[in-house]
Amino acid sequence: MRLFLIRHADAESGEPDELRALSPEGREQARALGKQLAGEGVRPDALLTSPLLRARETGEALADALGCTSEPSEALAPGADAATLRSAVEGRGETVIVVGHQPDCSQIAAEIGDGTEPRFPPAGMVELLLPEPSTS
């Protein structure tokens, strides 16, 4: 599976944390990333986000640019790890976009990738290949 792991775009500060919306800069970051992915020919089979507002808004902007729908998943809430991500994306197709949070994105990318935690600024993205689960 081709997996695009994305940190939500820049968000406003405030409380409660789960209701923090994207900042104007964040909305532009999300739109620009969606246009970039569309320009590269990315056609996701699924686009999953954390249930928190800033991640959902990032996912909606990406979905608008990519002509697909965005779906929140409790499995991607803050504290998500590689195991919960794998279960959330299993059976969702060959190309999946996931929008999550830090430090989760770096830790998941390190576990699935080469062990190095990449830097994940707001709207940062890493493309990973997620091996199919072995069937024994």
Question: Could you tell me the residue range of the domain that residue 20 belongs to?
Answer: 2-129
- Count of domains for the chain: 1
Residue 74, in any domain of the structure: yes
Q: Mind listing the pLDDT tens digit for each residue in 81-123? A: 999 999 999 999 999 999 999 999 999 999 999 999 999 999 9
Domain CATH code at residue 107: 3.40.50.1240
Is 48 among the domain residues? yes
Answer whether residue 25 is part of any domain: yes
Please check whether residue 80 is in contact with residue 50, taking contact to mean a CB–CB distance below 8 angstroms: yes
Per-residue pLDDT tens over the stretch 8-49: 999 999 999 999 999 999 999 999 999 999 999 999 999 999
In a domain, 136, yes or no: no
In a domain, 134, yes or no: no
Phi, psi dihedrals of residue 61, rounded to the nearest 5°: -65, -40
Residue 132: what pLDDT? 72
